[in-house]
A and B are shown apart, each in its own frame.
Chain A
Amino acid sequence: DAGVIQSPRHEVTEMGQEVTLRCKPISGHDYLFWYRQTMMRGLELLIYFNNNVPIDDSGMPEDRFSAKMPNASFSTLKIQPSEPRDSAVYFCASSSGTAQYGYTFGSGTRLTVV
């Protein structure tokens, strides 16, 4: 298995632009998680899905952020409009069953908003 695949690896965008981050989970995994990593706040869970349904989005910072999972093999995290404070590394992770067996993380997308 190729693992959790995220694209792009790096994204540089101007403030106010829309940004879309993509994630392909491991085939057969029914949970998908989006995390954000910054120096100041560490690793924060933004949202997670179970069987393509959003379960907990309490970590989404504000309405500018949205996430979708149209099918079991694809998820997006969108920021519109982007702001410099959104600069971070965004990780996608997936797991089979509950998270007690641990997540498998993707390599992340480094987002820079200038």
Chain B
Amino acid sequence: AQSVTQPDIHITVSEGASLELRCNYSYGATPYLFWYVQSPGQGLQLLLKYFSGDTLVQGIKGFEAEFKRSQSSFNLRKPSVHWSDAAEYFCAVLSGGYNKLIFGAGTRLAVHP
């Protein structure tokens, strides 16, 4: 069955530092992959998605992610983190005939001033 693993439950970075959040997927074919962000008390917002083509995907809020088939990874990056980026981040893979999103457990990001 398709699944995603986010190895880091919590990450703390300083404001202005670079960020990389890890995501590993399990999928037989070319996966459709997503990153979502959830601010406290809010729903999930789509940051970016990968279907095919260029393996470096640009998203909103200055985020990007790189698909690496050899490593079964889809890591999220940002060159310089802002305090407003503190939130929970979810990686997801499309499953069930391209109708169901399966989410990872999430990574909670804290940003120190």
Task: Check if B51 sits within 8 Å of A100, measured CB to CB.
Answer: yes
Q: How large is the interface on B (under 10, 10 to 19, 20 to 34, 35 or more residues)?
A: 20 to 34
Cβ-defined partner of B99 (8 Å) among A99, A107, A108: A99
Return chain B residues, CB-CB under 8 Å to A101: 49
Please give the distance in Å from B16's CB to the nearest CB on chain A: 29
Task: Check if A107 sits within 8 Å of B43, measured CB to CB.
Answer: yes
Q: How large is the interface on A (under 10, 10 to 19, 20 to 34, 35 or more residues)?
A: 20 to 34
Provide the A51-75 mask, 1 if CB < 8 A to any CB of B, else 0.
0000110000000000000000000
Residues of chain B whose beta carbon lies under 8 Å from any beta carbon of chain A:
32, 34, 36, 41-46, 49, 51, 90, 94, 96-106
Residues of chain A whose beta carbon lies under 8 Å from any beta carbon of chain B:
4, 31, 33, 42-43, 45, 48, 50, 55-56, 91, 93, 98-108
